[in-house]
Every structure is written in C-alpha cells, then in structure tokens.
C-alpha cells in the first residue's frame, strides 16, 4: 500500500473511530511508540506514568489502550469498573516476558527482607508480588525515598536497574531482564554516527545498555526526552529509544534535526521499532471499539494485590 492509499484508508477509519468514541463514551490513550495515525487520533499521548494517571482518573466508560498488554492491565488494575480494550491482545513486551512469575517467586524467596521495586513493564503477577511499582519517570525518587539500610530488589530491567544503582549509589539486587528494542542499539554505529554529527546531543532511554547510556548527554523517560529536545538550545539530536517517539518529538521542533540511533541489524530490519507496539493498527483500533473486544479481564484477587504497589507508584510525582 502506498502512502496516499494509506492516508485515504486512515481518514475513513478516523471518521468511524470518532463516531464510535462519542457513542461509547470512550477515551483513547496512546503511548509515544504507537504508529503516527494512532497518536494523532488519541485523546492523550504520553509515557507510561502519564498514561497510568489518565487511566486512573478518566470519566469515560471505555478506555481503549493503544499500547501493550502490561499498560492495558495497569489501566484495568486502577479502574476496574471501566471496560478496558487493547486493539491486539498479542501486543506483549519482551521485557515483561523476561520475568516469569514462578522464577520471580523463587528469586524473592532467595532474598528475604528485601523491598521489591518493580518497573511498570511487567505482568500483573509480578506487580502483585511487588511492594512498589515505578516507571522511568519516578524510579530514582522512589529508590531515594527508601531508608539506606533497607535492601532493595529491582526488577525486571537490568539496564534500568544498573543505571539507577549508579545514580542513587544503592546496591540494588537486579533481576536480569531486558527490552529487546533498547538492547539492539549498536554502539559502534552510534559512535560512527556521532562522528558525522559531532554537535548532536545523544539522548537515551534508561532501558538502553550502559555503553549507550555512557555516550548520552541526557537520559530520561520518553516524556522527559521530548521535553529535553524542546527546551535545549541545541538543534541536533541522536535519539536512542523506540523510533515511534520521533513523530511527537518533531511536532514542536520542526527546525531541529532528529536522528534515530542505529540498531545492530538496521540493514535488514527496523530493530528500533517495537514489534509489539506496532501490532496495534488503525483498523484494529476501529474493530475493538466496534466489537467491544479484545477486553482486559483480570482475576479480582490478583488485581487487588497489584493495586497496592500501583497506587504507591502514583503517589510519587514525576521529576519537574
Ligand atoms: P516510558 O514511556 O515510561 O518512558 O517507557 C518506555 C517503554 O519502554 C514503554 O514500553
Ligand atoms: Fe516492551 Fe521494549 Fe516494546 Fe517497551 S519497547 S513495550 S519495553 S519490548
């Protein structure tokens, strides 16, 4: 399908989605990694923490979550009386999958007396086993709020965990999980690219590996990266996170040059795109509103257990 055909189809789908959204009193929440047409039609586009906050406070009857499964589950944990729809139920997350509940239970049992802080990119089972959930926007503040003598387990992202251990000076016990998109950046290609654009700021999401983070002049959540590009006097940036962010990032800074950081296999695939995030399409968004499915249904006992650490997450304010 060429670009013109795609635009015509998306325009007609947009009209249908808008009519259904009104009829069903639905709100569409989209993550920055969603395809541009979905970001454009969404009521709110944000990072994980912003989306969780909107999901917790919306008056809509239906929440359509244009993101991945752990995000839609989080919306349902926070708002159990709403219908929460995920356009494609197979939209999972490699990081969440890297922390299976049975193994994690054994890991916790092997580390008694530790507080368990889990990154929001995990399943409801992992959330239910955690004391506090964090996102990349508030993880540092949450760790800093824990008394120094209290040992901490941080899960499931070892890269974010190592970054936070370094930032806070805490000796965190890390679960060895990772995101396949943020681990696919090539440090050699990144350094070559920086030689071509020596004045560009490298900015990176903290799910990236330590050697990538070491090159970055700014590290932050997706929302923080967008703010940084807006506020910086610089006009060239190499952006090390999922490439979907560039759509929103460039809207306020059309005059600035934004270059996606190269992945190891960029010649053969779009590795800096998250295949899970990209499973959602305008067609699936329309169909889920029309058919009222796929719907997130949670075990109520599990939901109640996961709610406690999730509410602690929302108590912490993101960095200004
Ligand atoms: P944030 O939007 O919180 O920065 O997280 C990025 C991410 O990996 C979502 O899957
Ligand atoms: Fe999961 Fe990584 Fe995709 Fe985010 S980008 S949803 S962490 S696989």
Q: Over the stretch 164-188, which tens digit does the pLDDT of each residue have?
A: 999 999 999 999 999 999 999 999 9
Distance 78 CA to ligand 2 centre (A): 21
**Atom number of ligand 2 nearest to Cα 94:** 8
Site residues for ligand 1, CB cut-off 6 Å? 47-48, 121, 135-136, 179, 205, 207, 221-222
Cβ neighbours of 98 (radius 10 Å): 20
Task: Give the number of the ligand closest to the Cα of residue 122.
Answer: 2
Mean pLDDT of 95-104: 98
Provide the 3-class DSSP secondary structure of residue 83: strand
| Predicted confidence band of residue 270 (pLDDT cuts 50, 70, 90) | low
Distance 71 CA to ligand 1 centre (A): 10
Q: Is the peptide bond before 55 cis (omega within 30 degrees of 0)?
A: no
Residue 279 is classified by DSSP as G
In sequence order, which residues have a C-beta less than 8 Å from that of residue 1 and are 6 or more positions away? 9
The overall average pLDDT reported for the chain is 95
Extract the tokens encoding 178.
């990772």
Task: Give the number of the ligand closest to the Cα of residue 48.
Answer: 1
**Atom number of ligand 2 nearest to Cα 93:** 1
pLDDT reading at 266 higher than 70: no
Report the nearest-CA residue for atom 5 of ligand 2: 274
**Atom number of ligand 2 nearest to Cα 179:** 2
pLDDT at 1: 72
**Atom number of ligand 1 nearest to Cα 136:** 3
Choose one of 93, 178, 240, 278 to mutate for the ligand 2 pocket test, by most ligand atoms within 8 angstroms of C-beta: 93
Report the nearest-CA residue for atom 3 of ligand 1: 48
Distance 107 CA to ligand 1 centre (A): 25
Task: Give the number of the ligand closest to the Cα of residue 221.
Answer: 1
Closest by CA to 220, choosing from 236, 241, 237, 235, is 241
Q: Decide: 258 and 229 in contact? Cβ < 8 Å.
A: yes
Distance CA 135, CA 133 (A): 7
Report the nearest-CA residue for atom 3 of ligand 2: 274
44-46 β-sheet, strand order: 44-46, 26-31, 62-66, 83-85
Length of the chain: 320
Distance CA 21, CA 16 (A): 9
- Structural domains of the chain, with CATH: 3-92+277-298 (3.40.50.10800), 95-179+302-314 (3.40.50.10800), 187-260 (3.40.50.10800)
Mean pLDDT of 76-88: 97
Instruction: Give CA 42 to chain center in angstroms.
Output: 16
pLDDT at 264: 86
Distance 102 CA to ligand 2 centre (A): 22
Give whole-number Cα distances, 127 to 47, 116, 120, 133, in Å: 18, 10, 8, 7
pLDDT at 220: 97
pLDDT at 4: 74
Distance 184 CA to ligand 2 centre (A): 12
Site residues for ligand 2, CB cut-off 6 Å? 68, 93-95, 121, 179-181, 242, 274, 276-277
Distance 19 CA to ligand 2 centre (A): 31
| Predicted confidence band of residue 65 (pLDDT cuts 50, 70, 90) | very high
Convert the pLDDT of each residue in 182-241 to its tens digit: 999 999 999 999 999 999 999 999 999 999 999 999 999 999 999 999 999 999 999 999
Distance CA 64, CA 91 (A): 13
pLDDT at 6: 74
Mean pLDDT of 106-135: 98
Convert the pLDDT of each residue in 147-168 to its tens digit: 999 999 999 999 999 999 999 9
Report the nearest-CA residue for atom 7 of ligand 1: 48
Distance 64 CA to ligand 2 centre (A): 19
Task: Give the predicted TM-score (pTM) of the model.
Answer: 0.94
Task: Give the number of the ligand closest to the Cα of residue 96.
Answer: 2
């Amino acid at each position: 399908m060429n670009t013109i055909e795609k635009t015509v189809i998306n325009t007609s789908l947009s009209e249908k989605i808008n009519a259904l959204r009104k009829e069903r009193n639905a709100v569409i929440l989209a993550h920055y990694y969603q395809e541009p047409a979905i970001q454009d039609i969404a009521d709110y586009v944000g990072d994980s923490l912003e989306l969780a906050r909107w999901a917790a406070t919306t008056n809509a009857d239906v929440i359509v979550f244009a993101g991945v499964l752990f995000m839609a589950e989080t919306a349902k944990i926070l708002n159990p009386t709403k219908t929460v729809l995920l356009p494609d139920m197979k939209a999972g997350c490699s990081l969440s999958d890297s922390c299976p509940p049975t193994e994690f239970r054994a890991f916790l049992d092997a580390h008694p007396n530790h507080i368990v802080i889990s990154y929001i990119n995990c399943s409801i089972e992992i959330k239910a086993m955690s004391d506090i959930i964090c996102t990349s926007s508030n993880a540092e503040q949450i760790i800093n709020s824990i008394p120094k003598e209290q040992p901490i387990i941080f899960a499931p992202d070892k890269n974010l965990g190592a970054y936070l251990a370094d930032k806070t000076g805490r000796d965190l016990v890390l679960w060895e999980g990772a995101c396949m998109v943020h681990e696919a950046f090539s440090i050699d290609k990144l350094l070559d690219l920086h030689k071509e654009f020596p004045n560009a700021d490298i900015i990176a999401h903290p799910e990236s590996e330590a050697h990538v983070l070491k090159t970055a002049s700014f590290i932050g959540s997706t929302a923080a990266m967008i703010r940084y590009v807006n506020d910086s006097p610089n006009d060239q940036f190499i952006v090390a996170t999922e490439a979907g962010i560039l759509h929103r990032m460039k809207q306020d800074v059309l005059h600035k040059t934004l270059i996606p950081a190269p992945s190891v296999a960029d010649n053969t695939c779009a590795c800096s795109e998250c295949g899970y995030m990209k499973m959602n399409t305008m067609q699936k968004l329309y169909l889920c509103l029309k058919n009222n499915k796929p719907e997130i249904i949670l075990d109520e006992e599990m939901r109640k257990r996961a709610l406690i650490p999730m509410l602690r997450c929302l108590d912490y304010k993101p960095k200004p």
